[in-house]
Amino acid sequence: MAIGPTIRHFLGPLEKPISDFYRGIFIDLTTLVNQVKVWVPASNILELGCGEGAVVERLVSAYPNAQITGIDINPNVGRMFPGELECVTFKQQTIKNFAVENNSSIDLLIISDVMHHIPWELHEEILSDARETLKPGGYLVLKDWERNVSLIHLLCYLLDRYIAGDHVRYKTANEFRELLKRIYGIKCIKAEARIRPWSNNFVFLVQL
User: What is the per-residue pLDDT across 102-124, written as a single tens digit (0 to 9) for each?
Assistant: 999 999 999 999 999 999 999 99
Q: Which of 8-22, 44-58, 80-94, 165-179 has the lowest mean pLDDT?
A: 8-22
pLDDT in tens, 81-108: 988 889 999 999 999 999 999 999 999 9
Domain count for the chain, please give it: 1
Range 140-150 burial, b when 16+ CB lie within 10 A, else e: bbbbbbbbeee
Q: What percent of the chain clears pLDDT 90, i.e. is strictly above it?
A: 81
- pLDDT given for residue 3 in this prediction: 46
Angle at 94 between CA 86 and CA 187, to 5 degrees: 95
Average pLDDT over residues 163-189: 94
Q: What percent of the chain clears pLDDT 70, i.e. is strictly above it?
A: 94
pLDDT(5) > 70 = no
Q: Determine the structural domain holding residue 196 and report its residue range.
A: 4-207
CATH number for the domain harbouring residue 112: 3.40.50.150
pLDDT(1) > 50 = no
From CA 136, how far away is CA 202, in angstroms rounded?
25
